[in-house]
């Protein structure tokens, strides 16, 4: 295994000391070390991976130095456009060092949403013409790989990628604790909201802890899961899945259970929802100011006013709560309101260590959900 300190200092010895990207569970130790040792303008947690490529390109244009871009392999899709039409050698020929967590690596057990991406990660890099190597877990061999990557980028001005397997880095715990102390746990908020819904209401929940906590709540009260579409992958798109349903099922109230990182990732979707004025649409953003599922790296969601943004995008109503009593009162009032509604629920970071995962497959979830939607 590689020490995060050794890894980052080795990059620094080659003047690679600007970082941007979206955190990943396989990279959480590296991301935590960088967060603790670099100022916010030297480690920018981007809205999405494509935006990180843009930030990196701007840094290179201003300095001539090679930036470092980190992400989970599921984020490669967000990078295709800027990689092909901005940094490619046939366009502007701009280098970056990519650190890509290899979720769903063939032969390694993983969640279903990662399997396909794991299979196509290397072929996708090859199709885009991006040189890569699977990062060694031996520090001496890593130095050789880094030297080769640096020489390649210096000579060609093209990107280079380190594909990173599970268990590559030694553990490092985030020390820079900037938590906002809030009284409400996300799991408690999810339970309060889910228990207040009518029998024919529908929930589309985002990837990560939110879907897992919703699934466990339904199981704890002996309910089925047919009311919920658990968006286990495709981060940032749950709100538009919910919108597509709301537009076609106007006699149902459709709830999107979203996260702050997911909302920020594709914030333009708020404008599309607002412009279409779906009266049956309720967008609930559980805001803990962090990418909680992949190491707790911070988002900027506590620094922006999500309610004002939603209202500017055309939402009829936007509300914010941060405690159980206010949440209960607001949920009761919302029953009489027309959508689109945005409800920001500010919650503290963290989840139960024994939190389980859905026991149904994505296809089983989809089929049960569609049957429920059709049972009018």
Check residue 208 and give its pLDDT.
86
Instruction: Assess whether pLDDT exceeds 70 at residue 177.
Output: no
How close are the terminal C-alpha atoms of the chain, in Å?
55
Instruction: Assess whether pLDDT exceeds 80 at residue 256.
Output: yes
Confidence at 111, pLDDT banded by 50, 70, 90 = confident
Check residue 349 and give its pLDDT.
86
Confidence at 185, pLDDT banded by 50, 70, 90 = very high
Confidence at 178, pLDDT banded by 50, 70, 90 = low
Give the DSSP letter string of 300-349.
Answer: STTTS-HHHHHHHTT-SEEEEE-SHHHHHHHHHHHTT--S-EEEEEE-BS
Instruction: Assess whether pLDDT exceeds 80 at residue 292.
Output: no
For each of the domains in the chain, give its residue range(s) and CATH number, in order of start. 4-164 (3.40.50.970), 186-374 (3.40.50.970)
Check residue 351 and give its pLDDT.
80
Q: Residue 286 and residue 284: Cα distance in Å, rounded?
A: 6
Confidence at 33, pLDDT banded by 50, 70, 90 = very high
Instruction: Assess whether pLDDT exceeds 80 at residue 296.
Output: no
Tell me if 206 sits within 8 A of 235, measured CB to CB: yes
Check residue 198 and give its pLDDT.
93
Stretch 9-17: mean pLDDT: 96
Task: Summarize pLDDT for 68-104 with one digit per residue, the tens.
Answer: 999 999 999 999 999 999 999 999 999 999 999 999 9
Instruction: Assess whether pLDDT exceeds 80 at residue 145.
Output: yes
Tell me if 309 sits within 8 A of 243, measured CB to CB: no
Angle between helices 28-37 and 4-12 (to 10 degrees): 60
Determine what percent of the chain is predicted with pLDDT higher than 70: 99
Instruction: Assess whether pLDDT exceeds 90 at residue 350.
Output: no
Tell me if 162 sits within 8 A of 97, measured CB to CB: yes
Confidence at 358, pLDDT banded by 50, 70, 90 = confident
Strand order in the sheet with 160-164: 43-45, 19-21, 68-72, 97-101, 160-164, 131-134
Element (H, E) at 226: none
Q: Residue 371 and residue 14: Cα distance in Å, rounded?
A: 57
DSSP label at residue 169: B
Determine what percent of the chain is predicted with pLDDT higher than 90: 85
Q: Residue 40 and residue 46: Cα distance in Å, rounded?
A: 11
> What mean pLDDT, rounded, does the chain reach?
94
């Amino acid at each position: 295994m590689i020490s995060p300190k050794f890894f980052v200092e080795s990059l620094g010895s080659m003047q690679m000391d600007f970082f941007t990207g979206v955190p990943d569970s396989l990279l959480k130790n590296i991301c935590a070390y960088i967060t603790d040792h670099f100022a916010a303008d030297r480690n920018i947690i981007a809205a999405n991976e494509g935006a990180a490529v843009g930030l990196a390109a701007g840094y290179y244009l201003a300095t001539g130095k090679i930036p470092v871009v980190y992400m989970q392999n599921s984020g490669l899709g967000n990078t295709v456009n800027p990689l092909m039409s901005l940094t490619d050698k046939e366009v502007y020929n701009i280098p970056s060092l990519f650190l890509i967590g290899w979720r769903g690596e063939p032969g390694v057990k993983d969640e279903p949403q990662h399997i396909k991406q794991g299979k196509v990660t290397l072929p996708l890099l090859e199709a885009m013409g991006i040189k890569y190597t699977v990062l060694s877990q031996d520090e001496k061999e890593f130095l050789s790989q880094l030297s080769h990557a640096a020489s390649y980028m210096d000579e060609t001005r093209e990107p280079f990628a380190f594909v990173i397997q599970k268990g590559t880095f030694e553990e490092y715990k985030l020390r820079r604790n900037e938590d906002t102390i809030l009284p409400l746990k996300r799991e408690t908020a999810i339970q309060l909201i889910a228990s207040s819904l009518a029998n024919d209401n529908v929930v589309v929940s985002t990837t990560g802890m939110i879907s897992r906590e919703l699934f466990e709540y339904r199981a704890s009260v002996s309910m089925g899961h047919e009311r919920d579409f658990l968006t286990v992958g495709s981060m940032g798109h749950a709100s538009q899945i919910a919108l597509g349903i709301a537009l076609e099922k106007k006699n149902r109230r459709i709830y999107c259970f979203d996260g702050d990182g997911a909302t920020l990732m594709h914030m333009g979707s708020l404008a599309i929802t607002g412009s279409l004025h779906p009266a049956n649409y309720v967008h609930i953003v559980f805001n803990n100011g962090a990418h909680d599922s992949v190491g707790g790296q911070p988002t900027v969601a506590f620094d922006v006013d999500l309610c004002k943004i939603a209202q500017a995008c055309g939402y009829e109503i936007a509300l914010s709560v941060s405690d159980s009593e206010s949440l209960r009162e607001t949920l009761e009032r919302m029953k009489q309101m027309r959508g689109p509604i945005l409800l920001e629920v500010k919650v503290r970071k963290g989840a139960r260590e024994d939190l389980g995962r859905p026991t149904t497959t994505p296809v089983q979830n989809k089929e049960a959900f569609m049957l429920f939607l059709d049972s009018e």
